[in-house]
A and B are shown apart, each in its own frame.
Chain A
Amino acid sequence: MKQKIVFFTHRVALFALTFLGQGVISLPVKNADEFTFLGYLAAVISLCLLLPAAVFVSNALFCDEACSGFKKAVAVIALLAVAVAALFLATDTFEAFYNFAAEVLLPDTAKWICIITFAAVVGFFLSQTTENVLKFFLVAFVFVFLAVIFFFLASLGDYKLQNIFIFRLPEWSGLFTQAKPYFLQAVLPSLIFPVYEALALKKSRLSAALSSAAVGSILLGLCILGSVLLFGAPLAGRLDYPYASAVSTVSVGRLFTRMDGFSYFIYFAAALAKITVCGATAFLSLKKIGSLLNKQGALSKI
């Protein structure tokens, strides 16, 4: 009997949320100018170029069990680098969400309670089966998607198009400066998707990686664009939490004011997705290193 369960949509949802990560909390960053959205687009274009290479390398290095000594050595070094990077990204995301939670969500609560509750949730997710995790994040993604679209449309009347008008072409150095935070906080971490897929699912698919990157970049783009259109890039950059500030101005009629409470789930789900993926990737990388070295091939064959 053949059973075929395709989790393509689930994976796209999970990775799209991972792409949002802590970027939805903190982007755009300080020193943003009129080229900030152009910088974001440049970073997304670089992602389109880097992602196929990451998928190819992941499939070549991490999927094949039986390989030569040299290939194993390269795989071990690459996996070690991935594990360190994934742990760093998970910690960075945790810190960003924790700071946001401590300052905005639960300002009067002891900080250790914020840490313990979020860490407990992360631990719970890491203990679940991949199937359960994917199902939860698919549901979470639907809510996040609707919330982002709603908040973007709800502020349409307040947007000032002149905030993104560009009257001169940027210099390369200026564009690079603006693209750098987006590259570091959104593009580079998303290269972990193919590695996670290769390690957890035994094969990384370019279609899933590109689809998730496209959906994630559109959602994050809407968040950044909303902040910039509303506040202008300099003010959006000066704010600690630009998107949270932008959605706090949304009100529907005279009754529904301060609707930013609905946006808090966006940050929660995005941070949780990124930490879960990065944590799992780090663990699987270390486990894979162990299996590669234990198959008494690696060190002896070098």
Chain B
Amino acid sequence: MAVRKYNLAKNHPFVAHATTVCKDGFAETDSPGGLSLLKAIKFLYGVCVLERYAERGRKFAAAALCVVMLISLCGCSVKGISQGESLPYLVAAIGFDSAEDGVAVLFETVMVNSEDAEADRQVVLLSGTGASPQAAATAAAEKSAAELMLGHVATIVIGGGVSAEQFWEIMNYCYDQDDINLSAVFVAAESAEQLLGCRPQSTVAMGYDITSMQQQQARLSGAEFKNRFYEIEAARGKSPDAFSLPYFQLGDDSYKLAGRAVYKNSNLTVNIK
């Protein structure tokens, strides 16, 4: 008597099966009654002895797989923070200004206490100058007591004195930093240092405040800006590249969105108020 059974049901992927295949893709295998004595002994041995260990092994393997998948899902590095090691600084904004010896970089950093998010929020501005944005960023990072995390950068501020060549270098620097999110926004100001030095109105850091203000203005006036990192980067790939950034005007410890800074071939050509 033959039992029609689909090959897939009980078979190992690597084991070739001595079965015959019917037209519909189903195979015929011998019924248990047709087993030889040797096969029966092997079967009983497998059921009684090996299955127990196999079951344990499978449970262990399943648990291990779950752990591995959870690690792959979390997307964070498996790196513990030992006692005494300071928590990393979240960078909310990066500012770029022109300096005598090249470029000045400013990191607006926020330290969040992991045990109490509302307490001990410290906003620290770290600055550095160098011949290139990379050198300036390294100089700024050297002043930090903790690691700088660029994954939370919301705003990148371009100062008014930045030349086309420097702008190109800044874009290359940002592009090379894999941690900087492509949805971060670029804005222009007369001085990045002064803008990031203002007191935030609605959030903990100016980097987040600037994006909030831009969204608020977009809601109120309908003025839309295509100033996200990937939009600027895509425009930069075209010839000639032309894009506009929201222009923030500074007052006495205050700021406002005053218009647009229009760039052509990475050069600031005009400010439209």
Contact = CB atoms under 8 A, between A and B. Distances in A.
Contacts of B26: 4
A105 B230 contact: no
Given A3-B6, A202-B21, 11 more contacts: A3-B5, A7-B6, A117-B71, A129-B13, A130-B13, A201-B7, A245-B182, A248-B182, A249-B181, A265-B73, A284-B16
B19 A265 contact: no
Interface string B2-21: 01111111111110110101
A231 B13 contact: no
Interface string B183-220: 10000000000000000000000000000000000000
Contacts of B78: 106, 108-109, 113
Contact of A258 (B3, B11, B151): B151
Contacts of A129: 10-13
A87 to B, nearest CB: 14
A146 interface: no
Interface residues of B, number: 42
B65 A121 contact: yes
A287 B18 CA distance: 13
Contacts of A280: 13-14
A167 to B, nearest CB: 15
Interface string B221-240: 00000001010011001000
A287 B228 CA distance: 55
Contacts of A131: 8-11
Contact of A7 (B8, B178, B181, B230): B8
B38 interface: no
The 10 nearest A-B residue pairs measured at CB = A108-B77, A249-B183, A261-B75, A203-B25, A202-B21, A235-B234, A280-B13, A232-B234, A130-B13, A5-B6
Given A63-B21, A248-B181, A280-B13, A6 B6 contact: yes
B61 interface: yes
Interface in A193-207: 199-203, 205
A121 B68 contact: yes
Contact of B72 (A105, A127, A231): A105
B79 interface: yes
Contact of B3 (A1, A118, A133, A288): A1
Contacts of B178: 103-104
B270 interface: no
A186 to B, nearest CB: 22
A105 B3 CA distance: 48
A218 interface: no
Contacts of A7: 6, 8
Interface of B: 3-14, 16-17, 19, 21, 25-27, 61, 64-65, 68-69, 71-75, 77-79, 151, 178, 181-183, 228, 230, 233-234, 237
A104 B181 CA distance: 12
B3 A203 contact: no
Contacts of A113: 78
Interface in A81-119: 101, 103-109, 113, 117-118
A124 to B, nearest CB: 5
A48 interface: no
Given A109-B78, A121-B65, A268-B69, A283 B4 contact: no
Contact of B61 (A1, A4, A117, A124): A124
B12 A130 contact: yes
20 contacts: A104-B178, A109-B77, A121-B68, A126-B14, A130-B13, A131-B9, A200-B7, A202-B7, A202-B27, A203-B21, A230-B230, A232-B237, A235-B234, A245-B230, A249-B182, A258-B181, A264-B75, A265-B73, A283-B13, A287-B14
Contacts of B75: 104-105, 260-261, 264
A134 interface: yes
Contact of A261 (B14, B61, B73): B73
A202 B19 contact: yes
Interface string A130-169: 1101100000000000000000000000000000000000
Given A103-B178, A121-B68, A202-B25, A287 B10 contact: no
A128 B15 CA distance: 11
A301 interface: no
A221 interface: no
A5 B72 contact: no
A265 B25 CA distance: 33
A103 B176 CA distance: 13
Nearest to A107: B77
Interface string A182-215: 0000000000000000011111010000000000
A68 interface: no
A177 interface: no
Contacts of B79: 108-109
Nearest to A109: B78
Contacts of A106: 71, 77-78
B77 A251 contact: no
